């Protein structure tokens, strides 16, 4: 699965970085330290996340500069995404 930038109705952004079975691993942009969390497709839908046309590599670069810091696991994913080129428009399915 390619990384996907998603945004919800509250304009909160996240990057979906992987899929393991029925769960998606995501990094949500927020006030605290950025970490990797797992959500199901239903949880993503309930939180109102939808794919957007923002390049994953550009989002990853911005996330790496997050003022509150980035966990080691999240940093590994983000650095990999930042160094690669992916499609601008990606699908959650």
In a domain, 66, yes or no: yes
The distance of Cα 85 from the centroid of its chain, to the nearest Å, equals: 15
In a domain, 26, yes or no: yes
In a domain, 72, yes or no: yes
**Strand (E) or helix (H) holding 8:** none
What is the strand order of the sheet 50-51 is part of? 36-40, 23-28, 13-20, 4-7, 50-51
In a domain, 91, yes or no: no
In a domain, 92, yes or no: no
**Strand (E) or helix (H) holding 62:** helix 56-64
- Per the structure, how many domains does the chain have? 1
- pTM, to two decimals: 0.86
In a domain, 89, yes or no: no
Q: What φ, ψ does residue 2 adopt, rounded to 5°?
A: -80, 150
pLDDT tens by residue, the chain, 93 residues: 789 999 999 999 999 999 999 999 999 998 899 999 999 999 999 999 999 999 999 999 999 999 899 999 999 999 999 988 665 544 554
In a domain, 55, yes or no: yes
In a domain, 60, yes or no: yes
Q: Which domain holds residue 17?
A: 4-83
């Amino acid at each position: 699965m390619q990384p996907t930038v998603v945004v919800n109705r509250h304009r909160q952004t996240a990057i979906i970085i992987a899929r393991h079975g029925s769960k998606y691993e995501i990094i949500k942009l927020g006030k605290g330290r950025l970490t990797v969390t797992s959500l199901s497709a239903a949880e993503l839908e309930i939180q109102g996340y939808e794919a957007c046309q923002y390049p994953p590599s550009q989002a990853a670069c911005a996330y790496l500069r997050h003022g509150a810091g980035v966990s080691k696991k999240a940093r590994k994913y983000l650095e990999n995404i930042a160094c690669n080129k992916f499609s601008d428009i990606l699908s959650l399915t």
